[in-house]
Amino acid sequence: MLKIYSGILGLSVLAATACSSNSGSTTVKSTDLSVTETSANAAFKDTLNGKEINLYELTNNQNAKATFTNYGGRLVGLIVPDKAGKLTDVVVGFGSIADYLKSTEPYFGATIGRYGNRIAKGKFTLDGVEYTSSLNNGKNSLHGGKNGYQNVVWDAVQPDKSTIVFTYLSKDGEEGYPGNLKVKVTYSLTNDNELKMEYEATTDKKTIVNLTNHAFFNLNGEGSGTILNHVVQIYADTYTPVDEGLIPLGTLPSVKGTPFDFTSPAAIGARVNQNDIQLKNGKGYDHNFVLNQVGRKGLIHGATVVGDLSGIQMDIYTEEPGLQFYSGNFMKGNNTFKNGSKDDYRTAFAMETQHFPDSPNQVGFPSTVLNPGEKYHTVSIYKFSVK
């Protein structure tokens, strides 16, 4: 069963869009908003490179909702209850495909690949053969190169109301990567208000793989202002410091006594502007944390984040060894979100589960090599509750 969702319940920009055209449409109610199904669907219906783009909704029995588009395998919105029971959209995103296509920030909510994060000079070597991906982040390659998976129209199947499955064949040589890589990403919204992300891949030639999702969160709700008062705890005793190009130096120093010590809860803004070379290099937090091996049902507890106004708590669990914490340092107010607010400086943050940046070039970092006959498989869970 393939369910193409024809409205984003609770996302106010689509409510506004809906009011402008009522011909041949029906109105559906959420807690405090109404949206026109036909108009909302139209905003996400398009064709790119001969493939159809659509909008899909996942629901559970707790009234939570997650909305995706197959353009970029992208999370558009995620609605969960706050401490007062109010349904709140904690993921920032756009109200139409047109807005995603013209955005100055290409990664909002996207599935990232073939290699999440940075590769120095876009170069890596496998079995003595050097490969080069395109440079799209200064002298380096970021998130798979200029045409990473955020620009792909994925094939989509929705087997039930709470699950969407995206698949894509990344062909040999695409963005310089070897091997035909068959990628499958399954997003599920559980009845425990968990957004589960399951990544799978196989290859016919030795390659490197590092898949993740680049959702931008504001746990007080999209358009609610700064995230600097969100309280963060990252279960990591060490991290990977970087050079000016945000390429790891290869060392794993302790976070103790540094602005990167989130082993105890601290506000994002408490130390983000300190005079620290790593904060200068990242323009704030844009660093990989080396997660401690403390698990839950086979998963590492990576981080806990609490929205200071909403009381919404997000716990991240993963099989990945690293977590990239990004504090919205390059947001410039150039784009308009689905509720009409701007993507202003530090009004959203990202926490991407991952292998470490530049791992193919860093001796001692966990390997990202995938061989023919092997299966890449990793799971991450973002669980939402109230504090």
Q: Which residues are designated catalytic?
A: 214, 352
Two structure tokens written together for 279: 């904060």
* CA–CA dist 299, 297 (Å, integer): 6
Contact (CB, 8 A) for 37 and 7:
yes
Between CA 257 and CA 262, with CA 261 as vertex, the angle to 5 degrees is 155
| Strand pairing class (51-53; 295-296) | unpaired
Contact (CB, 8 A) for 10 and 59:
no
Beta-bridge partners for 325: 287, 351
In order of 173, 192, 195, 253, 300, the CA distances from 382 in angstroms are 33, 10, 5, 27, 12
Contact (CB, 8 A) for 382 and 353:
no
Two structure tokens written together for 127: 């079995």
Query: Whose CA is closest to 85, among 34, 35, 32, 36?
Result: 32
Contact (CB, 8 A) for 355 and 318:
no
* CA–CA dist 163, 187 (Å, integer): 6
Tell the residue number behind the tokens 């490179």, with chain if given: 49
* CA–CA dist 23, 281 (Å, integer): 53
Three-state SS at 119: strand
* CA–CA dist 382, 316 (Å, integer): 5
SS3 per residue for 40-82: HHHHHCEEECCEEECEEEEECCCCCEEEEECECCEEEEEEEEC
Q: How far is CA 17 from the centre of its chain?
A: 26
Three-state SS at 239: strand
Task: Work out the angle between the directed axes of helices 37-44 and 12-19 (0-180°, nearest 10).
Answer: 110
